[in-house]
Amino acid sequence: MSGLLDRRRGARPAREAVPVVLTDRYSPLPRKVLVRVIGYGLLTLGTLLYLGPFLVQVATSFKTDADAVGNPVSLIPSPVSMAAWEIVAGSNPAYSVPVFRWLGNSFVVTISVTLGRLIIDSLAGYALARLRFRGRAVVFAGVVAVLAVPGVVLLIPKFLVLNELGMFDSYSGMILPLFCDAVGILLMKTAFEAVPAELDEAARIDGAGVFRTFWSVILPLVRPALVTVTILSFQGSWNEFTHFLVATSNPDLATMNLGIARLTAGDLQGSQQFPLKLALATLSTIPIAIVYVFFSRYFMRSGNATGLK
């Protein structure tokens, strides 16, 4: 922080000095070229390793089964086959996978969870940041404690409670437990704390009640945090797998991930059908990829926020 200020205060000279040294502008030419070549070489290799598998995935989804097994590396399908995507689209009468059912379930759950988290997180975040009430410290400690609980440990506990409440194999059982979102609450709390308290007071003096102050005055000011929570929970619940695995057994309630997982894990010994599986994997990645392209900044911010853990 102080570095930033210093740089700004020092204005010209400092700014000039920085690139001069660190870009190696005056280092001997061959060395400079060498460093760049190595640097870009590594970045290219990295791109190959990080993007390559996805290209293989998309390419393979357009291959025939034989081509996928025979020429796994080739990025150009020969012949180009739409067979896998026809099955995905449901236009193959001989073989059907309930993809639309899975997609529908995924969207219903994802949207409900995201809306629910937005409401719950912002209300709780505001209360923890601003409102004075007895027990606030206890509630805050409870929320922080949630961060310490590893998700995988909750597999059986979640099944138990859904079983007791009669919510096993139901949409409510899939959605409500995912409303637990300590990271989101803390994120909203931090955002509300950054809003000057004078605004609350001004609204109060103007006669607004607590909820009115929250809803009309303060909430619009924390829009970036709301976007972050939206993206975080969209991504989280779209990618969720273990919770649905223990919360449902009815195939009609399968989400995209659960459907693909059951198809893959159960089908290992049989025909491999990789074009179909990879077409499904591609389809399930598309919504996330679209959001990522437009909001990658928020994704990265939320990635860091999760790290509060």
Partner 1 sequence: MTATVTRKASADRTRPVRGRRSSGHLRQERRAGWLFVAPAVIVLVVFLFAPILMAAWVSLLDWNGQSSPFSGEADFVGLDNYRNLLVDAGLLRSDFMLSVRNTVYYVLFNVTGAVVVSFALALAVNSYILRGRAFFRTIFYFPAITSSVAISVLFLFLFQGAGVVNVVLSWVGIDGPSWFTDPRGVLHIVLSWFGVDGAPGALSDTTLGGLSLWDWLSGPSVAMCTLIMLTVWTTSGTFMLFFLVGLQDIPVELEEATAIDGAGAWQRFRHLTLPLMRRSVVLVITLALIGSWQVFDQVFILSQGSPAKTTLTPAYISYVRSFGDGQFGVGAAVAFVLFAIIIVLTLVQRWVGRERRA
Q: Which long-range contacts (CB under 8 A, 24 or more apart) does 212-218 make?
A: 214/123, 214/126, 218/126, 218/130, 218/192
Closest approach of partner 1 to the CB of residue 223, in Å:
19
From the list 69, 115, 144, 199, which residue makes contact with partner 1 (rule: CB under 8 A)? 69
Q: Does 225 bind partner 1 (CB under 8 A)?
A: no
Q: For residues 125 and 229, is the Cβ–Cβ distance under 8 A?
A: no
Q: Does 299 bind partner 1 (CB under 8 A)?
A: yes
Closest approach of partner 1 to the CB of residue 89, in Å:
18
Closest approach of partner 1 to the CB of residue 22, in Å:
5
As a whole number of angstroms, the distance between CA 102 and CA 248 comes to: 13
Closest approach of partner 1 to the CB of residue 114, in Å:
15
Residues 118-177 touching partner 1, rule: CB under 8 A, are 119-121, 123-124, 126-143, 146, 148-161, 163-164, 176-177
**Token output for 62:** 């357009």
As a whole number of angstroms, the distance between CA 242 and CA 153 comes to: 11
Give the count of residues interacting with partner 1 (CB under 8 A).
117
Closest approach of partner 1 to the CB of residue 26, in Å:
11
Closest approach of partner 1 to the CB of residue 157, in Å:
3
Length of the chain: 309
Compare residues 73 and 94 and give the one whose CB is closer to partner 1: 73
**Token output for 126:** 């505001």
63-to-53, 272, 273, 284 alpha-carbon distances in Å: 15, 13, 10, 18
From the list 5, 11, 29, 73, which residue makes contact with partner 1 (rule: CB under 8 A)? 73
As a whole number of angstroms, the distance between CA 81 and CA 278 comes to: 13
Q: For residues 283 and 89, is the Cβ–Cβ distance under 8 A?
A: no
As a whole number of angstroms, the distance between CA 94 and CA 180 comes to: 42
Closest approach of partner 1 to the CB of residue 57, in Å:
5
Closest approach of partner 1 to the CB of residue 68, in Å:
8
250-to-169, 247, 255, 308 alpha-carbon distances in Å: 6, 10, 11, 36
From the list 8, 16, 34, 42, which residue makes contact with partner 1 (rule: CB under 8 A)? 42
Residues 79-108 touching partner 1, rule: CB under 8 A, are none
As a whole number of angstroms, the distance between CA 181 and CA 230 comes to: 12
From the list 8, 46, 95, 216, which residue makes contact with partner 1 (rule: CB under 8 A)? 46
Compare residues 80 and 202 and give the one whose CB is closer to partner 1: 202
Q: Does 224 bind partner 1 (CB under 8 A)?
A: no
Residues 182-221 touching partner 1, rule: CB under 8 A, are 182, 185, 197, 201, 204, 209-211, 214
**Token output for 104:** 């529908």
- Per-residue binding string, partner 1, 19-38, x by CB under 8 A, is x-xxxx-------x--xx--
Q: For residues 233 and 181, is the Cβ–Cβ distance under 8 A?
A: yes
Q: Does 284 bind partner 1 (CB under 8 A)?
A: yes
